[in-house]
Every structure is written in C-alpha cells, then in structure tokens.
Structure 1
Amino acid sequence: MSKEAVPNEQTKEVLEKYDNESRVRSYRKYYVGLIVSIIAISLSVYHLYTSYFGTPVTLQHRSIHVAVVLALIFLIYPAYKKLDRRKLHWYDVILAMMAISTTVYIYIDYDGIVRRGGMPNEWDLVFGLILVALVLEGARRVTGWALPLLATLFIAYGLYGNHLSGLFRHRGYEWSDIVNFMYVTTEGVYGTAISVSATYIFLFILFGAFLQKSGMGQFFNDLALAIAGQTKGGPAKVSVIASGFLGSINGAAVANVVTTGSFTIPLMKKIGYKKDFAGAVEASASVGGQILPPIMGAAAFIMAEILGIAYRDIALAALLPALLFYLGVIIQIHLRATKEGLQGISKENLPLVKNVMMERGHLLIPLLFLMYMLFLSGRTIIFSAFLTILVTVAVSMIRKTTRMSVKDIIGALDNGARTALAVAIACASVGIIVGIATLTGFGLKLANGIVILGGESLFLTLMFTMVASIVLGMGLPSIPTYIITATMAAPALVQLGIEPLVAHLFVFYFGIFANITPPVALAAFAAAGISGGRQMRTGGISMKLALAGFIVPYIFVYNSNLLLINTTIMQGIVVVITSVIGVTMLSFAAEGYFFTKMNWLFRAVLFGGALLFMNPNGYQDLIAILILVAVGILQYMKAKKEGGINLPLEGYRDRYDQEEPAIVTT
C-alpha cells in the first residue's frame, strides 16, 4: 500500500541545507568506508564495555571519547560543502591522527600531568593547542560556524578581557593559562559537558539507533495514524504524536522535522492545511519532543548531573509542562481544522490500533523497561541504558518484522556512533565556553548584569533571561544550548531566590524554542523546505503554535506546583485543572476561534484571562473562569446567529471521499 511522503532526494536536500550533521562523505573506495565504520563501531563497543565494567581514570576516559570523536569527524565530514564527498583527503587523515595523539600523550605522561598540577610543560601546551584547534575545526564542520565562533570569542575574552572596563573586566590570562585549563584539567574541554556526552548521551543515542533498527519509527507513525488519523485535521495530530515520541528519544529537532515531516507534511497539505501551517505544526511538535520525558533528548540527564538531583525528580517535574505544551499545539490545530472545515482520513484507509499493537506493540517493552530501571530499580543511569540496549535487541526477536539481524546490530553500533558525533563535538566546544566563563567569572557577571537590568522586578528579570536564552540558543544544538544557558542565564534567577531546578527548566525551555524563533529558526526553516512554505512565515506560525511553551515557564516560576514539587494530591489536582483551562483559553485566543471566529477584543480578553492563571490565586482563577464562560456564551450566541454551531473541541468526522488513496503503512 502506498505511503504519502516527500521524495527521498528532496528530503536529503532539505536535511543537508539546514542540518550540517547530514553533510557526510560517501566513499568511492569500499575499504576506506569499512575502516571508518570499524572505528565507529569500536567507539560504540568501548562505551558499552565501560558502562558495564567501569571507565578508566576520568581524564583518560574523556580524552579517549573526544579523540575518537574528532578522528571520526575528520574522516566523515568534508572541510567544505563543495568538496568531493566520495574522496578522503590526505590532510583529514593527518588531522585524525593528530586528534588521536592528544589522548595518547595523556596516557603516556598521565603521572607527569598529575604531578605538575597546573604547571604545564611545553608538551602540555603543544598538545593542548592542538586539541583546542581541532575541537573548533571539528565543530565548524559538524555544527556550522555559530558554535566555534562563540567559543573563539570566549577565548579572546579570556585573553583580552583585562582591557575592558566595567562589569565584565577580569584580571587577564595568558595563553598558557587557558590552554592548560582546557587540556589537562576536567574544567575545560574535558569538563562536565563532555563527561555527560561520554556517559549518558552516547549510550542513549546508541539506544535510539537500536530502536530505529528495530522499526520503532515506523511503529510510532502507524500508532499515531491509528489513534488520531480519523479525527478532524488528523494528519496534523499524527505529526504531533509521532514527532513528540521520536523527539524525546533522539533530541535532534531538525532531523526529527525531516524524518517525520517527510511523511506528515504532505498528508496535512492533502487534507487542506496551508503549507506554512503544515510546516509549522511539524516544527513545533519536533522541538517540543526535547522537553518531553522520559528522555527529553538526554537533557534531563545533563540537568541531573549539573544540579545533583535525581533523574526521576527532573522527569516528574518536566512532565506536566510538556503535556501542556502538546495540549496547546493539538487544540490549535483542531481549532484550525474546525474553522476551515478540514477533515481527517477515512477509517478504511488507516491502520487499526489493534493490528499495529499486534504487529509492533512489543517494541514498547524496552521503553517500559527503561522507565522501570530509571525510576524504580535504583541502578545507575549508565547501567540502565546498557541493559535497555540488550533488552531492545532481545525484544526485537519476538516477531519477524522487527527482528534484528547481526548486520542490523552492527549497523546500529555504527549509526549510533556517527549520530553521537554532533552532540559530542558540541559538548567539547561548550567545554571551551564554559571553561572560560568559569575561569574569568563571566557567567556570574552576566547573571549579575541580568539582575541589575531587571532591578527589583522578577518579571523583568525573567524577560531578560528569556531573551538571553533565546539568543544563546539560536543556531545551536539543544544540549549545548542548555549547558550554556544553565551556566550563564540560570544563575540570574537563582540569585532572586528561584529554586535551581525551576531556573534551569526555565532557561532550558527558551533555549530549545530558539529553534522555532525567527530570525534563526532552523527547525521551522527545514519544515518550510519540505512544505514549500515561506521560512519566516512558518517560523512565526510555529511560535504561535508553541505559545503555551513560551507562557508555561513563567507559570511554573510563579507557581512551582506546576512542576509537582512538594505538592499534595489536592494541590496537584487543582494545578492540573487550572493549567489545562489556561492553556485551552490561550489556544482559543491564539487561533481566534471559539464556536465561531472571534474578533481581536475577545481574543485579547481570553489571552488576559489565561495569564491570570500564572500566579496561584483563587480570586484570579475565578475571574479567569468567568471570562471563559462569558466569552463562550457570547461566541455561542454569535455562532447560532450565523447559522450553525461548530463545537471547538468536537472530535470525529464523516467519512472522507472514497477516492482518497490509501496510506496504511506496511
């Protein structure tokens, strides 16, 4: 049976245009590709081995991770876009060997490095300089110019910041001080970011690679079609459900847009959604996956490491805000479908939930097992990830359609390492940025600057922090974005007495949504490339669809009950009810539809009523509910006068035209 999708060539073109990570070599000579695959597989096997048997000494373990990642980058990613990708250039081989030399030196002279303790010799500085230069070049090839330029600016600040005046002046550092700090300590390149990359992130990316090989992506698409395909605007809801699931696991917004969007965007356009709106739905849903537990694109594990908080507490705190975000998106796309009379997909052209679950439902077992291990077993995150990968392989054997062959397993090991390169090199680059911020005290100074700008007003401080997080997150992958904003923006809120977890979730949200915030909205631009829509228009609609995601962080700052932190059952019930009502009002206002089209005045009133739920106050909640009832009655009366009532949250549709082609997936 057929499957509506964007042609593979167009998908590849869009991915390469907006996602540097996809611009990889495809070797003409088989043996060259084989050598690269062996290195990638070896890296995966090394991480699996250390997750079970334990890692070497910290500096040695992290240096191996960075060195092999750099070597693979120079072997896989060409120096420039226009170079022949079927050929490996001699200088890339030299750069790969230089990358390996940085960890070989640490192993050879590890005792000497420890004894010198901050007093580097000439060889320390030579290999340190090599490492910093290679990290910047590797980041440029994989992530683009934004991250290495930012890291270079921070290095320049470390060298010449003593010539500045005012708040950001520091005492000044020599090149030897900076290189030593970056190379032979666990504060620079080998700092917290690489620590998390070399443990949690790599293993969970590898887990995602095994899930993909077992057919999990196809299962999510089929299940979403079976659940939501028949409802009004069904394909858009399919996009939200499938992208949310996949985004939580892979944490790559642009890749998620292209992977899921190549299937869902043509379906959305087919039933009548305009191309800008169709692209925006996919972009906002894909970005939102990174705030959705249980995996949150691995960000939850980094947050746990930085804050020293149990992972399960972070996942629980992030759950309700993430569900509210997706509720807001789904309500808006349903309202758009109701307003424009768009239908879903006929039932006979959809897979049945029962059949999907019978065929691939067992693939949920690894996810359930992972949740058990993380929340109930008491075992470490690393060991939990290791066991879950083994369970994924075992569970895939249950049915022939999902069974992983030896070739599939080897392919997963290879793909997992390749996929991890982008995150790993971004973390290494962020190590330079965070290292300089730590060395010079820049992070604290920036936090003080935000607090000074905000004055005594918490709201103004939140606004400035939001802007700082969005600017820092523009054009950067989600994980380094969070690490940067956590280092430089979150402390501003902590200084005002905000709980660290609340502050970190606040900056995390806005760093993530930079991906759909023009003028640098890479996820939205990629979606526009598939839909054929306008980039800036798609970005603007993406922001509107994600409006709940821009408001909810303010709510949980003022009302931490939304994060279910130290709340009673009754408080939890109340906050769920009020927040759902608030997001619903927000969606009505954003889409301008409540039984019938609304004028700007009613939209503004509903928006104001939704904001009343921001601060926990019984009187404000009552006023907001009265606003909702009053506007609802007036809109209902208006709709009756216009000749008919379209319920704003009405569900299923009449059967679609029988000539509609089948899209049931295999």
Structure 2
Amino acid sequence: MTKDRSDEQVDQNQQEVLEKYDTESRFRSFDNRFLAILVTLIAVGMSLYHLTTAFTGPPVPVLVHRALHVSLVLILVFLLFPPTKKARRDRLPWYDLILGLLSIPSTIYLFVNYEDIVTRGGLPITEDIVMGTLLVVLVFEAGRRVTGVALPILAFLFVLYAMFGNDLPGLFQHRGYDWSQLAEQFYMTTEGIFSTAIGVSSTYIILFILFGAFLAKSGMGQLFNDLAMALTGKSRGGPAKVSVIASGFLGSINGSAIANTVTTGNFTIPLMKKIGYNRVFAGAVESSASVGGQILPPIMGAAAFIMAETLGVPYTNIVLIAILPALLFYLGILSQVHMRATKDNLSGIPRAELPKLSDVLKERGHLLLPILFLVYMLFFSGTTILFSAASTIIVTIIISSLRKTTRMNVKDLIDALESGARTTVSVAIACATVGIIVGVSSITGFGLNLANAIVAIGGESLFLTLLFTMVACIVLGMGMPSIPAYIITATMAAPALVQLGIEPIVAHLFVFYFGIFANITPPVALAAFAAAGLSGAGPMRTGFQALKLALAGFVVPFMFVYNDALLLIDTTLASGILVIISAIIGVLMLGIAAERYFLYKLHFLFSGLMAAGGILFLMPGMMTDAIALAILALIFAIQFITKKRQGTPQYSTAS
C-alpha cells in the first residue's frame, strides 16, 4: 500500500524539522547503487562484528578494538555526512572518499605495532605522532559534521589550553605540553580518543542502539503510541498525556531528545492542538517529555552505562537510584498537563476514535516480552550486560515473528542492522571528540582545578555550589547530545560536589540531569525549537514553557543531594514508602503551583505557598512534611469553602 500525498508531505515536514535542529540526521542518500550497497555492507558488518564480540569477546586487545570501532565510524561519517548543509547529498565527492580511506591506517598501525607501542611505554616515535595527528584531525572534522561546531570548538580550545596553559596565571596554570605528548595521550592511551566513552560506545551503547533498532522495525513505536492512547487518550487532556507516556518510553530507548521530539511530536502535537491546547504548550509538552526519556531507566539513552563505567559501580545500581527521580519528573509534567486541561475545560479523545487496550495487546502486546526479558537478564540472571543485550536482540527477533504484523523479513533485519550502525555513528563520534577534552583534563588536571574554582566561588556553601554547578552544566550541555554533555559535566563539574562530601553517584546524577536539560533551556533549547517547528509556535516561548513543565526536574536534583533517600539509598522499606509518598505529594504541589490552579485558579500568594510546600515535602524531616501538609490543607480548605459558598471565583482571594 503506497502513501498518499498528504502522508508524504507530513513525512517531508518531519524530516525538514529534524534536519534543521539535529545535525545527526543529515545523511546522504545515494543515487549510485554501488555506493548505497557499500554503505549498507560497512554498516551491517560493523553491527554484526559488535554483536558477535558481545558473545565471544573482542579478538584483539582493548585499545585495538576501540580503534577499530572508531575507524568504522569515521568511514561511515565521511560516506554519509556531507561537509556542509548546502552540499549535495546524492553523490560522494572524491575528497570524502579519501578521508574515508584515511580513517583506516591508524587502526592498522595500532594492530601491527601494538607490542612495540606497549614496550616503548610513553616514548612515541615519529610514526606514532603522525598517526595520532591524522586521527585527531579526522575526529575533529567528523565531529564538526555530525555534532555541529560547538563540541569540536570546545575540544580545540582544550588542545590550545594543553599547549599554552603554562602561560596562564593562577589556578589554571600547568607546566605545558608539546604536540608529541598530546598526540600520544590522544592516540596511544585509553585516556584520550579511546577513553572510557569510546569503550562504552564500542560495547554497551551500540548493542542497546541495535536493540532499539530491532524494536522499531518490529513496531514497538506503534505499540507505545497505541498503549498510551488506549490508557489515557479518553481522559481530560488525553493527547498530552499520550505524548508524555509515549515520549518517555521511546526516549529512554533511542537516547536522542531531538529525534524523539520530532518522531513522537509529529503524531501527538496535532492531537493536542486539536482538543484545545495552545501551540506553545503542545510543543513544550512534547519536548520536555522527550528530554526526560534520557533519565528514565532501564536504558536512560545509554548514558547509564557510561556513568557505571566512570564510577566503577554496577549498572543496576545506577538504574535503581534513578527510578524515583525520573518518575517524579514525569509526574510533574503530567500534573501540569492535567491542571491545564482542567483549567481550560479541555476534553479527551472520543472513545470511538481510540484503540481498545485488548486489541492493542492482542496485536502487539508480545513486543513487551523482550523488554521484560532484558530486565530479567540485567537484574536477575547474573550474566554480563553485553550478553544480556545481545541475547535480548535475538529474543526480539524471535518474539516479533509470533505475529505477521510484527514479523521481520530479511530486508527488515538488514535495515535494523544498518540503522543501528548509522545511529551509533553520532554517539561514537561525540564520544571520540569528547575524549580529546577528557585527555586534556586528565593530563593537565583541569577538572580538579575547575572543581576547586567552583567550590571557592561557592564559598563552602553547598547550595551556592549546587547552583553554580547547575549553571555550568546547562552552559556546557547547550547544543550537545546528552552523552558528551554528561561526560564533560562529569569531568569538570561533578568533582566540585564530591569535594563537599557528596557521594560520587549522587554528584554524577546531579550533573547528568542539568546537562540534559540544556536541550530545553533557552537560548539554545534544540529539543524545544524542534517541537516549535512542528507546532508552529515561537521557539523561545516554547523553550520557556518547556522549562516550566520540567520544574520538578530542576527541583528534584537539589533535593536528592540534601536528601539521598529520594534515590532510595540505604533506606528501609517503611522509610522508603514514606519518602515516595511525600515526594509524590510534593511534586503534585509543584505542578499545581506552576499552573496556578487547584480547585480553581490560585492567587499568586497561594501559588507561592503551594510551591514552598512542595519543596518542603521533598526535603528530609518530619517537621518539613508537617509544615507542607498544613499548607496544603489550608489552601484546600480555603478553596473548598469559598467555592462552595460562591461557586467558582476567579482567584482564591481578591487580587
């Protein structure tokens, strides 16, 4: 069945918006059949190699395995990504073919000379420096094409700092390094381009991206949309709730806030506008929910794996402590969505236009089994994460074949393998580029110096240090994908919090949140801008509305620093239940305050009191809970009595 013209127009608009705000989506599409087949063979080969090594382990040393991963990614970058926005995308220029071929020698050199390199131990020869320089140049150019200019420029500034930092005064001065030392750091160690980030990209990340690609081919996206529609579509403001739920699930798997915004928003934003939400609010709901997917377990957009490797803690620990804050974030959005719908008297979608839950589960419900299988493998099987991820991919293929509508043929399998590799390219290049920043920070001690500076500015005040760290994370994360944003903030900002006695895992989760929220923080709120492109609203207005919807996400990280019980760390069952209940009430109060609506519209004074009560509920201690409960009871009583006597006044008190 072919698409009609309106469907094609919608798809074209979706692609245009995606490419405008997401450089990672600007692929070439070759008319030349040979080139198209070549790209497919390289991408599929890359996916199969990593899928095989998940079961068998890499056949080469770790450094060479990571180098091979980077080389394959670089080849795909120069084949797929044009050098500029205006460059033609239907042909491959000769210079990109040369750049693709130049991506191979650095890996071959490491493979052939690995023992000699290890034996030399920090004494690079001319060939080492030449190969290292070549790789650095290729990574910079690939990073510029895929991620945009922000990350490569930042990396270049770090290189300049490493070479000329000996001339700087004060805290950030170091002894200075020449290019031969830097080339060795970037190319011949696991503290440069082949750092932990590329290590995770070449193992966990590519496997979970492949898992998402196979789920997408089987129709998982349609299942999430249909489930959300069946469960919440009829309720007040139903389409917005559908957007929140579907975007959360999909965002956790695909890890791209912008791509998720455009993919899901293309369906949900028109529905929200249709029932009466204004275009600014509709775009903000979609973008804030899509960004939040990256803090939602179990996959968290793959950043959880890098966090686990960086901290040296089990991945399952990261997932368990991240659950409650992520759910509170989404509860905060849902509460504002509901309050806005109630305030504006918006209805849901008529039941006749909604899919039946039983029909949805009958048709595609079996696609939930791979996710359940993955949870079992990760938490209860005792096997490695790599084996769990690879096994789940195989299980997905098998389970999807149980029904004709989800069954994948050979072409679908090849497409999924190719799609997984293509998607990995953007993540891996970002990881390689940020490896240069990590390498400079490691060799110069910049991260520690910055941490000392943040603590000094904060004046030993935990709150001020948290505030400055939040601002630094948002600035560093602007215009960047979530994974490099996390790596940079974890390298530069998290040590400041650790110096003040905060547990490393808490500090890293704090900077992770705010690095991600840069995607909805003006002036560079790319996810919000993409949503505005679909809704027709003003980009900046959409960004500020998205910030308002994400209010809980900005408050909760501060609260779990002061009250790590919100992360369910070292809590008993009884105290954990109390923490969860008080946190839920607190987030609901924040949502009420943000929308200024409870039983009817709230006066500014009562809205401020409600916000204060919400924050008190999130803080530790019975006294703060009692005060917050008293505030809630007082406002409820005033609104209830006034409404009963006078109907529904405009404000709770005269303004």
TM-score over 0.5 (shorter chain): yes
Other-structure match for 2:419: 415
CA shift, 1:613, in A, is 2.5
Q: Secondary structure at the match of 1:571?
A: helix
Other-structure match for 2:653: none
CA shift, 1:608, in A, is 1.3
Match status 1:32 vs 2:31: no
Q: CA RMSD in A?
A: 1.5
- CA–CA distance in 2 between the matches of 1:196 and 1:514? 23
> In the alignment, is the contact (CA less than 8 A) between 2:600 and 2:648 conserved in 1?
no
Other-structure match for 2:365: 361
Other-structure match for 1:304: 308
Spell out, residue by residue over 1:466-498, the C-alpha distance to the aligned partner (whole angstroms, 9 max, x if none): 111111111110011111111111111111110
CA shift, 1:88, in A, is 0.2
Other-structure match for 2:459: 455
Q: Secondary structure at the match of 2:104?
A: helix
Spell out, residue by residue over 1:444-480, the C-alpha distance to the aligned partner (whole angstroms, 9 max, x if none): 0011111111112111111011111111111110011
Q: Give me the identity figure in percent.
A: 62
> Which amino acid in the other structure matches residue 308 of structure 2?
A
Match of 1:41 among 40, 44, 47: 44
CA shift, 1:31, in A, is 1.0
- CA–CA distance in 1 between the matches of 2:643 and 2:419? 54
Q: Secondary structure at the match of 2:566?
A: helix
- CA–CA distance in 2 between the matches of 1:450 and 1:635? 45
Match status 1:349 vs 2:368: no
CA shift, 1:439, in A, is 0.6
Other-structure match for 2:242: 238
Other-structure match for 1:392: 396
Task: Name the stretch that deviates more: 90-99 or 1-10.
Answer: 1-10
CA shift, 1:641, in A, is 4.7
> In the alignment, is the contact (CA less than 8 A) between 1:556 and 1:563 conserved in 2?
yes
Match status 1:375 vs 2:403: no
Match status 1:441 vs 2:441: no
Match status 1:318 vs 2:315: no
Q: Where in structure 2 are the equivalents of 1:168-567 lying within 5 Å?
A: 168-567=172-571
- CA–CA distance in 2 between the matches of 1:328 and 1:615? 16
State the 4+ residue runs in structure 1 displaced beyond 4 angstroms: 1-6
- CA–CA distance in 2 between the matches of 1:177 and 1:44? 34
> Which amino acid in the other structure matches residue 33 of structure 1?
A
CA shift, 1:117, in A, is 1.1
Other-structure match for 2:17: 14
Other-structure match for 1:570: 574
> Which amino acid in the other structure matches residue 436 of structure 2?
I
CA shift, 1:334, in A, is 0.5
Match status 1:115 vs 2:108: no
Q: Secondary structure at the match of 2:103?
A: helix
- CA–CA distance in 1 between the matches of 2:643 and 2:411? 60
CA shift, 1:341, in A, is 0.7
- CA–CA distance in 2 between the matches of 1:524 and 1:562? 28
TM-score normalized with structure 1 length: 0.96
> In the alignment, is the contact (CA less than 8 A) between 1:186 and 1:192 conserved in 2?
yes
> In the alignment, is the contact (CA less than 8 A) between 2:332 and 2:549 conserved in 1?
yes
Spell out, residue by residue over 1:16-73, the C-alpha distance to the aligned partner (whole angstroms, 9 max, x if none): 0000011110111111111111001000011011111111201110000001100100
- CA–CA distance in 2 between the matches of 1:329 and 1:635? 23
CA shift, 1:9, in A, is 1.1
> In the alignment, is the contact (CA less than 8 A) between 2:582 and 2:618 conserved in 1?
no
> Which amino acid in the other structure matches residue 55 of structure 2?
Y
Other-structure match for 1:660: none
> In the alignment, is the contact (CA less than 8 A) between 1:595 and 1:645 conserved in 2?
no
CA shift, 1:615, in A, is 2.7
CA shift, 1:614, in A, is 3.7
> In the alignment, is the contact (CA less than 8 A) between 1:25 and 1:76 conserved in 2?
yes
Spell out, residue by residue over 1:248-294, the C-alpha distance to the aligned partner (whole angstroms, 9 max, x if none): 00110000000000000000000000000000000000000000001
- CA–CA distance in 2 between the matches of 1:204 and 1:57? 23
Q: Secondary structure at the match of 1:377?
A: coil
CA shift, 1:636, in A, is 2.2
Match status 1:52 vs 2:55: yes
- CA–CA distance in 2 between the matches of 1:629 and 1:645? 19
> Which amino acid in the other structure matches residue 441 of structure 2?
A
Q: Aligned in 2, Cα 1:645/1:580: closer, same or farther, shift over 3 Å?
A: farther
Match status 1:80 vs 2:62: no
CA shift, 1:644, in A, is 4.7
- CA–CA distance in 2 between the matches of 1:331 and 1:644? 21
Q: Secondary structure at the match of 2:235?
A: coil
CA shift, 1:640, in A, is 3.4
> In the alignment, is the contact (CA less than 8 A) between 1:248 and 1:295 conserved in 2?
yes
Match status 1:636 vs 2:640: yes
> In the alignment, is the contact (CA less than 8 A) between 1:261 and 1:282 conserved in 2?
yes
- CA–CA distance in 1 between the matches of 2:646 and 2:32? 69
Match status 1:146 vs 2:130: no
- CA–CA distance in 2 between the matches of 1:432 and 1:539? 31
- CA–CA distance in 2 between the matches of 1:642 and 1:454? 50
> In the alignment, is the contact (CA less than 8 A) between 1:135 and 1:429 conserved in 2?
yes
CA shift, 1:637, in A, is 3.0
Higher relative contact order (CA 8 A, sep 6+): 1
Q: Aligned in 2, Cα 1:173/1:266: closer, same or farther, shift over 3 Å?
A: same
> Which amino acid in the other structure matches residue 385 of structure 1?
A
> Which amino acid in the other structure matches residue 10 of structure 2?
P
Other-structure match for 1:23: 26
- CA–CA distance in 2 between the matches of 1:149 and 1:569? 49
Task: Name the stretch that deviates more: 627-636 or 141-150.
Answer: 627-636
> Which amino acid in the other structure matches residue 165 of structure 1?
P
Spell out, residue by residue over 1:278-322, the C-alpha distance to the aligned partner (whole angstroms, 9 max, x if none): 000000000000000011011111111111111111111000010
> In the alignment, is the contact (CA less than 8 A) between 1:554 and 1:614 conserved in 2?
no
- CA–CA distance in 2 between the matches of 1:575 and 1:293? 19
> Which amino acid in the other structure matches residue 453 of structure 1?
I
- CA–CA distance in 1 between the matches of 2:135 and 2:171? 31
- CA–CA distance in 2 between the matches of 1:152 and 1:113? 26
- CA–CA distance in 1 between the matches of 2:122 and 2:397? 46
Other-structure match for 2:129: 125
- CA–CA distance in 2 between the matches of 1:639 and 1:485? 49
Match of 2:623 among 619, 624, 637: 619
- CA–CA distance in 1 between the matches of 2:88 and 2:646? 63
> In the alignment, is the contact (CA less than 8 A) between 1:636 and 1:645 conserved in 2?
no
- CA–CA distance in 1 between the matches of 2:32 and 2:255? 33
> In the alignment, is the contact (CA less than 8 A) between 1:596 and 1:636 conserved in 2?
no
CA shift, 1:348, in A, is 1.0
CA shift, 1:619, in A, is 1.1
> In the alignment, is the contact (CA less than 8 A) between 1:589 and 1:606 conserved in 2?
yes
> Which amino acid in the other structure matches residue 12 of structure 2?
E
Match of 1:586 among 582, 585, 590: 590
Other-structure match for 1:651: none
> Which amino acid in the other structure matches residue 485 of structure 1?
T
